[in-house]
Amino acid sequence: MKQDNYSPQVKVMYTTSNMPRERVLTGIRANGTPHLGNYLGAMLPMVEIQHRKSKTHDIFFFVPDLHSFTTPIDHDTLYEHTLRNLKFFIAAGMDFWADGAYLYRQSSISAHSELTWILDCFTYFGEMRRMTQFKDKSALEASEVKIVKKVLDGYNLTQRLKKLTTQRPMADIRNLFMFDRKEAAQKIVNELQAVKADHISVGLFNYPVLMAADILLYNAKYVPVGEDQRQHLEITRDLALRLNNKFASIFPAGMFETIPVEWSKQLEFAQRDNGIRIRSFRTPEKKMSKSVSDPAGTVNLTDDPKGAVKKVMAATTDSFGVINFDWQKQPGITNLLQILSLLSGRSIHEVVTEWQGKSRYGDLKRAVAVEVEKLLTNFQQKVDEVNEAKLLEKLESDEATVGLIANTTLLRVQQAVGLRPRN
Count residues near ligand TYM (CB under 6 A).
24
**How is 305-339 classified by DSSP, letter by letter?**
HHHHHHHHHT----SS-S----TTT-HHHHHHHHH
Region near ligand TYM per CB under 6 A, out of 22-30, 183-191, 251-259, 414-422:
22-30
User: Residue 26: in which H helix or E strand, if any?
Assistant: strand 22-27
Residue 24, strand partner residues: 59, 222
Q: How far apart are CA 303 and CA 313, in angstroms?
A: 15
The residue among 152 and 279 lying less far from ligand TYM, judged by its C-beta, is 279
- Does 67 help bind ligand TYM (rule: CB under 6 A)? yes
- Does 217 help bind ligand TYM (rule: CB under 6 A)? no
- Per-residue interface string for the shown chain with ligand TYM, residues 27-56, x marking contact by CB under 6 A: xxx-------xx--xx--------------
31 neighbors 73 (Cβ within 8 angstroms)? yes
The residue among 37 and 332 lying less far from ligand TYM, judged by its C-beta, is 37
78 neighbors 33 (Cβ within 8 angstroms)? no
The residue among 29 and 365 lying less far from ligand TYM, judged by its C-beta, is 29
- Return the residue of 7, 20, 22, 26 that touches ligand TYM, per CB under 6 A: 26
- Does 332 help bind ligand TYM (rule: CB under 6 A)? no
- Does 226 help bind ligand TYM (rule: CB under 6 A)? yes
Q: How far apart are CA 302 and CA 380, in angstroms?
A: 7
Query: For residues 245-284, which are near ligand TYM according to CB under 6 A?
Result: 276-278
HSE-up (13 A, CA, CB side) for residue 151: 11
- Rounded least distance, CB 324 to ligand TYM, Å: 21
- Rounded least distance, CB 223 to ligand TYM, Å: 5
- Does 331 help bind ligand TYM (rule: CB under 6 A)? no
3-class SS letters over 97-161? CCCCEEEEEHHHCCHHHHHHHHHHCCCCHHHHHCCHHHHHHHCCCHHHHHHHHHHHHCCCHHHHH
The residue among 7 and 338 lying less far from ligand TYM, judged by its C-beta, is 338
Which residues contribute to the site for ligand TYM (CB under 6 A)?
25-29, 37-38, 41-42, 64, 67, 211, 214-215, 223, 225-226, 228-229, 276-278, 287-288
